[in-house]
Structure 1
């Protein structure tokens, strides 16, 4: 009997995703998600009822199964919210994603991370979809920094540099960010620094919290004078190491001005 609900649930997922080429199309197939939720809820109810009628030891696996079914219901609810949001984005014209993939929360973790990225990027601004994406990351315990870094790289490609700063603001305000998460997100997208206008690049680096990360960023972007200026503000022993490194980079790149400044300071 339980297997009937499982098969019905899998059928609903297949019908929901089959042949859809846009979230607008998925939005028109929400009835399959409602059917899916109904089947999972029926399975959950039957299992809970069965356990309640038996005055026996209930195994941990039984509790885990019931808990798992509850999580599946939460997944369906969240997928419905994701579908509604992305459908609205497509309908309003804010969607700018050009790939043809339609990731859903019924796939593996990589696909779930793609969902989170898509939700953040598709809204009229970063903040609009961040809350939904954050719940996806939390519910499935995904690598948040990896997702945020992927979003930042995409924003560089779209030349939306101010949106990267908005992303960092959202991450910091989420309450779940580790100390260097914001810095790591910026560092992850600096491989494309040649495509970032100088002013926007400086703004991003200056938004970093750690001087060490700022120095690393300036070095990555061949802004050796800026790297030198931050380096000399550190404690003496560390400053010497950093300035020596900057001098070596200046020598390698043929920047005689910065090399001379470093040599004079040392």
Structure 2
């Protein structure tokens, strides 16, 4: 999530309920002084104006604009796959263009703007799966798994009573301007031509796996778009910066390949029937694509 923030991107969190996705976002917001946090609980009856805002008329004031919850630094879109396509489209358009049109006026979103959307993979009723074009706009897709037993005991010991956010003792270590500075630093990280070619080859292998001797490629229906190439390079830069380097190495690319590619690889019917995962395909690609 921190890498996504450093890349000025958005992240899709997938897990069953109760794994502290909301708490994660709230605690992240608490570390940023002056940051605004909004939570949007997606439901089938939600309207686009419930997210973006609307124009209101009062006799004394006339027409005026009421901005929606999308106008925040950190936006938690809870169960985004429960919203109808029209609402999903409004949300994801704001994520991509970083502007919102309300009535006849257009408003920019904050420069430090990150959406963390969640979805529950177990729900089948009353859900509207994101389209490929929509899901492609997320920089990362992160699986939040169950904690290990020792970690769960620690969670139990620390949370025998319901706590308020302020009781966790979170310190302010950032502000929105500092986040923008970090994002600019990521852009300045050097990436060599050899590493660029390596990134392009990895993405190309999702489209033409036979060119790289990847047998599991027969399970791929559609590969990743050029947006994946851009995001893979950007995320590798953020990884290098967090490892206190001013340049990208192939290890940085491999470290974030799954998060960037897993939601951009579409498996065919045979792959789904055999239980092949996108992560397994990414593993095969990493094992077969050579470093220049």
TM over 0.5: no
Larger Cα-atom Rg:
1
Structure with the higher fraction of residues in strand conformation: 2
What TM-score, normalized to structure 2? 0.29
